[in-house]
A = this chain, B = another copy of it.
């Protein structure tokens, strides 16, 4: 059953349809839902699919069943209400909450919960220079499809940058993608089957949950420590659940900002070898590092570890471009998959990224970012302290601060209160498969410097403390 609850399934489609009608107020609280027969007719699905969807919506509390009478919209369901985040990871909407609130936010909203830098922190001048020089590029670069692997000079540059971090990859082992997320999506399509078990960190980047659900994977999580996954529990999970794949960030872990230690990396790879585990190492935060952390891909030599990255965090998120570096014999199959599902790559984005990365100013820009983030990390930590918000650890680098809220407050309640004042926060359980992060909140320090954030936080904490306390 569980595999059906994902974007691709018809049950999911029926649920999305009903949720949308509720969100769009074409079905108001208390309203009666369409009959099984009429909805199965209008959506062209079987009656049992509608029954299944209605039952799940009842289980979620989105609708009510009145035996003998039918199904009715529950009274307190607001569109994308945070009340639905938290314990219910069987809800398609939950892992999307932070991303949707952040991506759909207005210019004027504040987004301490989002996962990217303010535009003013990115290399605006280099991008403008690049667009001007691209306006003089040859016609093919402006209008032809990219090659299946993608722009060769950019793949060569990516290979050189990987080598600087000890990851040996030839340019022909590198395939460009539209984004880091698409890179992981391709690899899941290539490596796992519906029902396969995939291991993630707890907490981990919430979109891993969303993506793995779209692949109908069974997801198992292992607690993350300041030096990597809890290696004893990791070993136990391998034995108990026999996962096919593990997805992680080693360098600057999202959301905790932790760094994998060499000893944990070594043990982890030994375990992976014993159990035939393949690992996707998502390295999109690499350019934020002050001192290079150990990389699984470096220790492993791209044997069972796949290295992926993108430029959305340090260069531009408007020109999406990511990559996969993997064992050569997998690239051929990945190319076919890329052609089948997206045909040629976005050549112009690749040209833009190549040109900005090659621009002498990029390394200076990255250095500037690192010190600017370090300053913001220090300032935000200091300003959160009086509110009783304490970091779980002091990250060595990056934009994320993973924090305890005071007095076991429920982060979802705090985020709900802040959202009412147009401040998007990232409540802990959005990152936690085990839902054990009720009292945690992720802050993006680059988006947490505005005084209004702290005023709104203060109010939101007050409000939340008056609501029911979270289970400890």
Chain A residues proximal to chain B, CB less than 8 Å: 7-10, 12-13, 16-17, 19-21, 23-24, 44, 92-93, 95-96, 99-100, 103-104, 107, 116, 119-120, 122, 124, 127-129, 131-132, 134-136, 139-148, 178-179, 181-182, 185, 189-194, 207, 210-211, 213-214, 276-278, 304, 312, 315-320, 328-333, 335-337, 339-349, 351-352
**Candidates B145, B317, B329; contact of A116 at CB < 8 Å:** B145
Q: How far is the CA of A148 from the CA of B121 in the complex (A)?
A: 22
Q: Shortest CB–CB separation between residue A284 and chain B, in angstroms?
A: 11
Contacts of A17 in B (CB 8 A): 329-330, 332-333
Q: How far is the CA of A17 from the CA of B141 in the complex (A)?
A: 32
**Candidates B103, B319, B340; contact of A7 at CB < 8 Å:** B340
Contact B16 A330 (CB under 8 A): yes
Contact B142 A318 (CB under 8 A): yes
10 smallest beta-carbon distances between A and B, as pairs: A16-B333, A44-B276, A131-B135, A210-B340, A119-B139, A318-B347, A122-B143, A7-B337, A20-B332, A17-B329
**Candidates B44, B135, B141, B182; contact of A132 at CB < 8 Å:** B135
Contacts of A103 in B (CB 8 A): 145-148, 339, 343-344
Q: Shortest CB–CB separation between residue A81 and chain B, in angstroms?
A: 15
Known contacts being A189-B214, A207-B339, is A136 close to B128, with CB within 8 Å? yes
Chain A contact residues, majority secondary structure: helix
Contact B96 A339 (CB under 8 A): yes
Contact B124 A312 (CB under 8 A): no
Contacts of A129 in B (CB 8 A): 135
Contacts of A8 in B (CB 8 A): 189-190, 192-193, 337
Name the residue on B nearest A122 (C-beta): B143
Contact B336 A92 (CB under 8 A): yes
Q: Shortest CB–CB separation between residue A144 and chain B, in angstroms?
A: 5
Contacts of A139 in B (CB 8 A): 119-120, 122, 124
Known contacts being A210-B340, A333-B12, is A104 close to B20, with CB within 8 Å? no
Q: Shortest CB–CB separation between residue A217 and chain B, in angstroms?
A: 12
Known contacts being A214-B341, A339-B210, A346-B178, is A119 close to B142, with CB within 8 Å? yes
Contact B339 A185 (CB under 8 A): no
Contact B147 A104 (CB under 8 A): yes
Contact B20 A342 (CB under 8 A): no
Contacts of A304 in B (CB 8 A): 44
Q: Shortest CB–CB separation between residue A151 and chain B, in angstroms?
A: 10
Contacts of A214 in B (CB 8 A): 189, 337, 340-341
Known contacts being A104-B148, A337-B8, is A346 close to B318, with CB within 8 Å? yes
Contacts of A178 in B (CB 8 A): 178, 320, 342, 346
Contact A10 B193 (CB under 8 A): yes
Name the residue on B nearest A346 (C-beta): B320
Q: Shortest CB–CB separation between residue A70 and chain B, in angstroms?
A: 19
Contacts of A135 in B (CB 8 A): 128-129, 131-132, 135
Q: How far is the CA of A44 from the CA of B329 in the complex (A)?
A: 14
Contact B340 A213 (CB under 8 A): yes
Q: How far is the CA of A336 from the CA of B91 in the complex (A)?
A: 12
Q: How far is the CA of A181 from the CA of B343 in the complex (A)?
A: 7
Q: Shortest CB–CB separation between residue A150 and chain B, in angstroms?
A: 11
Contact B181 A143 (CB under 8 A): no
Q: How far is the CA of A316 from the CA of B346 in the complex (A)?
A: 10
Q: How far is the CA of A144 from the CA of B182 in the complex (A)?
A: 18
Q: How far is the CA of A144 from the CA of B447 in the complex (A)?
A: 13
Show 19 residue pairs from A and B whose CB-CB distance is below 8 angstroms, ordered by the A residue: A8-B189, A13-B191, A13-B330, A17-B332, A20-B332, A20-B333, A23-B332, A103-B339, A116-B144, A119-B139, A122-B143, A127-B142, A178-B320, A181-B342, A182-B342, A207-B339, A213-B340, A214-B341, A312-B344
**Candidates B134, B145, B182, B336; contact of A16 at CB < 8 Å:** B336
Known contacts being A319-B348, A348-B319, is A185 close to B341, with CB within 8 Å? yes
Q: How far is the CA of A340 from the CA of B185 in the complex (A)?
A: 9
Name the residue on B nearest A8 (C-beta): B189
Contacts of A342 in B (CB 8 A): 178-179, 181-182, 185, 320
Contact A107 B140 (CB under 8 A): yes
Contact A143 B316 (CB under 8 A): yes
Name the residue on B nearest A142 (C-beta): B127
Q: Shortest CB–CB separation between residue A45 and chain B, in angstroms?
A: 8
Q: How far is the CA of A351 from the CA of B349 in the complex (A)?
A: 13
